[in-house]
Amino acid sequence: MELNKAVLDCMQSLRRRLREEMSIDIRLSQPDAISAMLSACISSSNEETRQLGQKLAQFSDMPNAVLTPSKPQQSDSAPQAPTGSLRMYRGQRVYA
């Protein structure tokens, strides 16, 4: 994928929105920055953030990165514990 000014501007504005909205810090130098941004946009409740994610998906030519509007999860449902092994990586829980 070619990183031109339009793609970088979209990534920077999306990065700022994700940091403000969800406290997710994604660096543009990460090898998986685009996929991390797209997956964070899917879980976003803000329409503008999802639109920026769709724009980034179009720029990156990722046909499998279809961003569909998701409804916010209800707070009355208890989160389910993921199955598999649990590892700690830099103070964060990682389920493998």
Instruction: Determine, yes or no, domain membership for 91.
Output: no
Count of domains forming the chain: 1
Instruction: Determine, yes or no, domain membership for 96.
Output: no
Q: What range does the domain containing 62 cover?
A: 5-71
Span 58-75, pLDDT tens digits: 888 765 554 554 444 454
Instruction: Determine, yes or no, domain membership for 92.
Output: no
Instruction: Determine, yes or no, domain membership for 77.
Output: no
For the entire predicted model, the pTM comes to 0.60
Instruction: Determine, yes or no, domain membership for 95.
Output: no
Instruction: Output the pLDDT for position 12.
Output: 93
Instruction: Determine, yes or no, domain membership for 80.
Output: no
Helix intervals (H) in the chain: 5-22, 33-42, 47-60
Instruction: Determine, yes or no, domain membership for 43.
Output: yes
